[in-house]
Amino acid sequence: MNRHPKPPQVAGLYDPAREHDACGVGIVARLGGGPNHEVVAKAVLANEHLYHRGATGADADTGDGAGILLEIPDAFLRAEAGFDVPPAGRYGVAVVFLPRDDAARRAELERALETAVAEAGLEVVGWRAVPVDETACGRTAREALP
């Protein structure tokens, strides 16, 4: 019995540097490239069939945060952003939960994030307040809403 097996090596899409623990992960990809709604439909189906995705609770109306990672919907973002968006492929999007009830604290946190982004050699080109429908959240989620 080999007690010191050779560590995994980079092979195809696998890179051991990106290895980490995960609970309830499903991967659906279209290796041929290009957007395709079939991938989204299959990802939703996979998500529906993962019973334990890292968190469970007593509130049946509150999800566990599982989702689908998609490419940036450039046309949608341009239509909804409210600011000039760089050319497709030349920007990223971050989801940041900031206080909605404390404008001074929100502004302070935005400045801190913009400073950190600038220190990384990048630029924040805008902020977008995403509409929230709190009635779609379960009780547990509403109690912890950012």
Q: Could you tell me if 82 and 126 are in contact, meaning their C-beta atoms sit under 8 angstroms apart? A: yes
Q: DSSP string of 85-126? A: -PPTTS---------SS-HHHHHHHHHHHHHHHHHTT-----
**105: Cβ–Cβ under 8 A, 6 or more apart, which residues?**
99
The single-letter DSSP state of residue 51 is S
Q: Which residues form the catalytic set?
A: 23
**Nearest C-alpha neighbor of 46 from the set 58, 29, 60:** 29
